[in-house]
Structure 1
Amino acid sequence: MRPAAGEVVHFSEDPTITRFEPHVAATARQPEAYVWAVDAARAPDYWFPRQCPRAMAWVRPSTTEADRAWLGADRVHAIEYGWLPAVQSVRLYAYRFAASDFEPFGPHRHAMVAVVPVVPLGPPEPVGDLLAHHEAAGIELRLTRNLWAFVDSASRSTLGFSGIRLGNAKPRPNELHA
């Protein structure tokens, strides 16, 4: 489930939205109100329940052979074991929008934002089996007891890296005994 050419997509567990209003997200790092969407390359980052903490790493042209060997695949998404039942059972929907209603956000330009209300191009589409989407896209999904070792290794590497909802991850192992 990715947007077609000229489109961006927003994923939601709510299939009843007819108009998206800009707002400041609870997890926002900026004070401006936006409607958020993603391009085709980053759509797989959102093939998860909204609150699921996840880390993504992928090979870039500048990735070292050592980091490529550590990752063991071209792209890996990691979640904690406890989130697997939610990934398997969530009913996720994709809302498609005209990309022309959005502007790239940030230095990597894969997140897209609208500063005015936007209406989807059509009704939301059920995304379906999230594990099957990962498999079809060639993305390895890793299950971990605790996400932080993967986060720390990937973020210090030459790999591309992103983390979403990491505040919902289990505490770091060294924080459990503090």
Structure 2
Amino acid sequence: MNVLLINSHQHYPFSEGKLNNSLVELAKEVLESKGYQLQFTRMDNTYDVAEELEKHTWADVIIVQAPVNWMGMPWTFKKYMDDVYTAGMGGELCNGDGRSRDDAARQYGSGGTLQGKRYMLSLTFNAPQAAFDDPDQYLFQGKGVDDLFFPMHMNFRFFGMEPIDTFVCYDVMKNPSIEQDFWRFQQHLNQHL
């Protein structure tokens, strides 16, 4: 299996990226032990758009490792998406939006060319797990992590990809349980890959 690991951490003075880097390294260790072929992209490095498109078409699975910043992906990953995913609309990732003037039955978003490929979001949150999926909680009002990341899921669906269950490390700044998170991540990878 070919796996593309994207580390979307962006360095901040209060967050050097050690946890996200460690999760990428753990994924590398687990997946290489299975004999999988890996490629890597980091948001703190420069990237070549054509090369990134080749990585996406090469990969059977894409794992996006990301800290959650202001309820979404870091801005550098959003820029990466604008650069790479827009360039891939000519057939590498999708054939436009899927609709056709000749065939009105084709639905918006159905033009993906990466059918049979999968993706996984692996996220690190300062928010505690209890903040999600509970209508009595103030911020998320009963919504879950995948509700929050619905736009990201739709981006990959736009390419025809299928999701692997999202992995989350919660409360990583105020109440971390890093060793337990590493163990859970390893189990998650073994179960789904």
Q: Name the structure where strand makes up a greater proportion of residues.
A: 1
TM above 0.5: no
Identify the structure with bigger relative contact order (alpha carbons < 8 Å, sequence gap 6+).
Answer: 1
Q: Name the structure where helix makes up a greater proportion of residues.
A: 2
- Name the TM-score, length of structure 1 as normaliser: 0.23
